[in-house]
Chains A and B, each alone.
Chain A
Amino acid sequence: DSGVTQTPKHLITATGQRVTLRCSPRSGDLSVYWYQQSLDQGLQFLIQYYNGEERAKGNILERFSAQQFPDLHSELNLSSLELGDSALYFCASSAGQGANEQYFGPGTRLTVT
C-alpha cells in the first residue's frame, strides 16, 4: 500500500459526459501528479500540482482540467468524454516539488461507452 488513495476505483459513463476523479496523496506529500495509462499510449504524464499550484503540464487535453485543494487532495476533471478517453488514470505523490520518488495510487479505470 503506497498510502495514495484514489476514488472511484471504476467509472463507466457515456460519451459527452463529465466525470471527476479524486486523489489523496500520502500524508505530508505536497506534490501530486496525474498520469494516464492506455494500451496504445502507455503511461503518460498529464499534469502536476505542488501545494495547490499548477507546476507542470504534459499531454493533457483542453477538455481535461485539475486542481489541488488546501487539504492537498486533488481532482482531475474530464469533460466531453470520448471513447478514446477510456483508460486507467493514476495519481502519484511526492514529498516536495524537487523530490524524486513518486508513489502511485491504485488508479481509476474509466470506461466511456
Chain B
Amino acid sequence: GENVEQHPSTLSVQEGDSAVIKCTYSDSASNYFPWYKQELGKGPQLIIDIRSNVGEKKDQRIAVTLNKTAKHFSLHITETQPEDSAVYFCAASRTGRRALTFGSGTRLQVQP
C-alpha cells in the first residue's frame, strides 16, 4: 500500500519567515495530495490540495508543489504569522481508493 513520509517533524521559524514542509509518497498511482492543518483540540482542516495533473498551486500565503517523477510534494508558507502555528499533515490518495494515507505530521511553531 501507499506510504507517505513527512519531514521535518518539528519546525521553528521567526514571524515573517517562510516555512517549507516536504513529503514523499511511494505509490505512483496516487493522484491527489491534500494538506491539513490541525490546531490543538481540533480536527484536521483542509488548507490546500493538488492533483497530479498540476505542478503548483497557490492560495494567498500558501503554495504546494508536486514533482511526480520524484514522487514528492511540498507545502510552502510565506510571511508566517503566529496563527500559523499548528501541526501540518500531508496526505495522498488515488482514484479507486479515496481513503487518505497521512504523513506523520510537522509541528510548526512561529515565534513572534
Residue numbers of A with Cβ under 8 A of B are 2, 4, 31, 33, 35, 42-45, 48, 56, 58, 90, 94, 97-107
* Alpha-carbon distance between A35 and B98 when the two chains are bound, in angstroms: 13
The answer to whether B43 touches A45 (Cβ under 8 A) is no
The answer to whether B98 touches A104 (Cβ under 8 A) is no
The answer to whether A103 touches B46 (Cβ under 8 A) is yes
Which residues of A sit under 8 angstroms from B101, Cβ to Cβ?
45
In the complex, how many residues of chain B place their beta carbon closer than 8 angstroms to a beta carbon of chain A? 22
- Choose among A90, A94, A98, A99 the residue that contacts B44 (Cβ–Cβ < 8 A): A90
State whether the Cβ of B61 lies closer than 8 Å to any Cβ in chain A: no
Which residues of B sit under 8 angstroms from A42, Cβ to Cβ?
102-105
Q: Which of B93, B100, B102, B105 has the most CB of A within 10 A?
A: B100
* Alpha-carbon distance between A45 and B98 when the two chains are bound, in angstroms: 10
Given contacts A105-B43, A106-B43, A107-B43, contact A98 B98 (CB under 8 A): yes
- A58, closest chain B residue (CB): B99
* Alpha-carbon distance between A2 and B51 when the two chains are bound, in angstroms: 21
Residue numbers of B with Cβ under 8 A of A are 32, 34, 36, 42-46, 49, 51, 89, 93, 95, 97-105
Question: Smallest CB–CB gap between B7 and chain A, Å?
Answer: 14
* Alpha-carbon distance between A35 and B95 when the two chains are bound, in angstroms: 19
A-B contact pairs, 20 of them (CB 8 A): A2-B45, A4-B43, A33-B98, A35-B100, A42-B103, A42-B104, A43-B100, A44-B102, A45-B99, A45-B101, A56-B97, A94-B98, A97-B98, A99-B98, A100-B34, A100-B49, A102-B34, A102-B46, A102-B98, A102-B100
Given contacts A45-B99, A94-B98, 18 further A-B contacts (CB under 8 A): A2-B43, A31-B98, A42-B102, A42-B104, A42-B105, A43-B105, A56-B97, A56-B99, A97-B98, A99-B98, A100-B32, A100-B49, A101-B34, A102-B46, A102-B100, A104-B45, A105-B43, A106-B42
